């Protein structure tokens, strides 16, 4: 699956202006001004050695998935690159003194790099994350040996390649800066579209609030023809309405969604199929069979993704194909053993589903 990121609720409002961020690739990095070093040793920037500064929080689920990956990178580049995880946006000021150390202790050797905390102040969040127009965690900054920002992004989506580029001297900061600016412009345009969608979705949301799920489906139908760019979002809302209202017709809806351009992304397919099959009884036999068909498309697009295969196996189980569900789940578990994107908790859940299937 695509790496996920959590957004603080209020921070979403600032994404639209992120294309004009004050901190970008090529700029001198801000100070590494933290409150406490929970693990490892204090790290300095601009002293000749590249440094990865990654922002996370104890409540952030996707952050848990990236921690083992960062540990692997820290070991791979030991002596060449320093890694620092900085906890920000904790729920309560006291969490920096209590929850963060407890979290680090719980992860033990799986979080084997330097860890620091923001503390009651917000220097790190403001001068790094907000200044760069970054509103979701986990987010990593790669700082080169001269103390300049060389790369910003999700730690599981391009960080390793960027580190190799810095170490080899092949990373072109000017090109990297241009790519960063283009990405932020695209992100701002996407946020503008999201805000437009929210306004147009208001009548649908009003129906949901009244638990008028049939009315919500009717409102969705009115927008479907008028707003082709919004169809993926509309499809997701209709799926929710049909599930919650037990309206049926999920098989026909999945066939309609399947034809959308976004459904050539296996990760997107995974999310849709999982919404259908996660809980039993949310659809009928035809709906589960349609989920299987969509799952088959997903597996053709990305046949070795453990989490996708796990979702596909559950779809098979819900549709009544128990033998194939068991064999598929076993394959998913095997793939998960070497898939860096799958954490221990998820592997345990996969094993639990296999036992549920009787395998």
User: Which residue carries 């009544």 as its tokens?
Assistant: 320
Task: Calculate helix-pair angle for 285-301, 266-277, nearest 10 degrees.
Answer: 160
Clarify whether residues 242 and 253 are in a common domain.
no
Q: Is the dihedral of CA 330, 336, 338, 343 positive or negative?
A: negative
Closest CA to 237 of 216, 223, 268: 216
Q: 149-153 and 114-117: which strand pairing?
A: unpaired
User: Which residue carries 């407890």 as its tokens?
Assistant: 102
Clarify whether residues 146 and 136 are in a common domain.
yes
Q: Which domain holds residue 195?
A: 185-247
Clarify whether residues 60 and 137 are in a common domain.
yes
Residues 267-288 have pLDDT tens digits of: 999 999 999 998 787 889 999 9
Distance CA 22, CA 209 (A): 40
Clarify whether residues 25 and 162 are in a common domain.
yes
Per-chain mean pLDDT for the chain: 89
Clarify whether residues 348 and 333 are in a common domain.
yes
Clarify whether residues 258 and 123 are in a common domain.
no
Clarify whether residues 230 and 264 are in a common domain.
no
CB 43 within 8 A of CB 32: yes
Residue 37 lies in a domain: yes
Residue 353 lies in a domain: yes
CB 130 within 8 A of CB 10: no
Could you tell me the two tokens for 300? Answer: 């053709």
Distance CA 20, CA 346 (A): 38
Claim: this prediction has a pTM higher than 0.75 = no
| Whether residue 10 has pLDDT greater than 50 | no
What's the CA dihedral at 2, 87, 51, 175 to 10 degrees?
50
Mean pLDDT of 136-140: 94
Q: 51-56 and 139-143: which strand pairing?
A: antiparallel
Residues 22-66 have pLDDT tens digits of: 899 999 999 999 999 999 999 999 999 999 999 999 999 889 889
Residue 178 lies in a domain: no
Domain C-terminal end among 171, 199, 224: 171
Clarify whether residues 320 and 359 are in a common domain.
yes
| Whether residue 299 has pLDDT greater than 80 | yes
Say what the pLDDT of residue 120 is.
66
Structurally, how many domains does the chain consist of?
3
Mean pLDDT of 230-252: 92
Question: Looking at residue 21, which CATH number applies to its domain?
Answer: 3.40.30.10
Share of the chain above pLDDT 70, in %: 94
Residue 358 lies in a domain: yes
Closest CA to 41 of 108, 116, 106: 116
Say what the pLDDT of residue 285 is.
92
| Whether residue 300 has pLDDT greater than 90 | yes
Clarify whether residues 53 and 14 are in a common domain.
yes
Q: Is the dihedral of CA 142, 144, 145, 148 positive or negative?
A: negative
| Whether residue 9 has pLDDT greater than 80 | no
Clarify whether residues 199 and 221 are in a common domain.
yes
Domain C-terminal end among 226, 247, 268: 247
Clarify whether residues 31 and 140 are in a common domain.
yes
| Whether residue 303 has pLDDT greater than 90 | yes
Domain C-terminal end among 147, 171, 195: 171
Residue 4 lies in a domain: no
Residue 63 lies in a domain: yes
Clarify whether residues 308 and 284 are in a common domain.
yes
CA distances from 180 to 138, 152, 215 (A): 17, 8, 43
Residue 287 lies in a domain: yes
Question: Looking at residue 344, which CATH number applies to its domain?
Answer: 1.25.40.10
Residue 176 lies in a domain: no
């Amino acid at each position: 699956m695509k790496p996920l990121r959590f957004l603080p609720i209020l921070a979403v409002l600032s994404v639209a202006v992120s294309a004009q961020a004050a901190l970008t690739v090529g700029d001198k990095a801000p100070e590494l001004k933290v409150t406490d070093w929970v693990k490892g040793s204090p790290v300095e920037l601009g002293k000749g050695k590249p440094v990865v500064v990654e922002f996370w929080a104890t409540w952030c689920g996707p952050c848990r998935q990236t921690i083992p990956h960062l540990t692997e990178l820290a070991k791979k580049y030991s002596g060449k690159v320093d890694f620092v995880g900085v906890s920000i946006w904790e729920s309560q000021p006291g969490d920096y003194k209590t929850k963060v150390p407890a979290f680090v202790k719980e992860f033990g050797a799986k979080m084997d790099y330097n860890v620091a905390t923001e503390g009651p102040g917000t220097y790190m969040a403001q001068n790094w994350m907000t200044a760069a127009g970054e509103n979701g965690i986990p987010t990593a900054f790669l700082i080169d040996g001269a103390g300049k920002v060389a790369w910003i992004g999700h730690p599981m989506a391009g960080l390793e390649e960027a580190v190799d580029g810095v170490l080899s001297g092949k990373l072109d900061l000017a090109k990297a800066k241009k790519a960063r600016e283009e990405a932020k412009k695209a992100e701002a345009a996407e946020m503008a579209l999201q805000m437009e969608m929210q306004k147009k979705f208001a009548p649908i949301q009003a129906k949901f609030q009244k638990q008028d799920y049939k009315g919500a489906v009717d409102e969705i139908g009115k927008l479907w023809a008028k707003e082709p760019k919004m169809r993926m979002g509309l499809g997701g809302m209709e799926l929710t309405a049909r599930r919650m209202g037990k309206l049926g017709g999920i098989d026909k809806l999945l066939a309609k969604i399947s034809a959308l351009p976004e459904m050539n992304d296996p990760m997107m397919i995974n999310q849709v199929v999982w919404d259908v099959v996660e809980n039993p009884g949310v659809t009928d036999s035809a709906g589960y069979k349609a989920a299987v068909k969509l799952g088959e498309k997903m597996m053709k697009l990305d046949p070795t993704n453990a989490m996708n295969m796990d979702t596909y196996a559950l779809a098979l189980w819900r549709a009544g194909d128990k033998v194939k569900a068991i064999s598929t789940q076993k394959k998913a578990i095997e793939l998960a053993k070497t898939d860096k994107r799958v954490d221990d908790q998820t592997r345990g859940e996969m094993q639990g589903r296999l036992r549920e299937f009787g395998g």
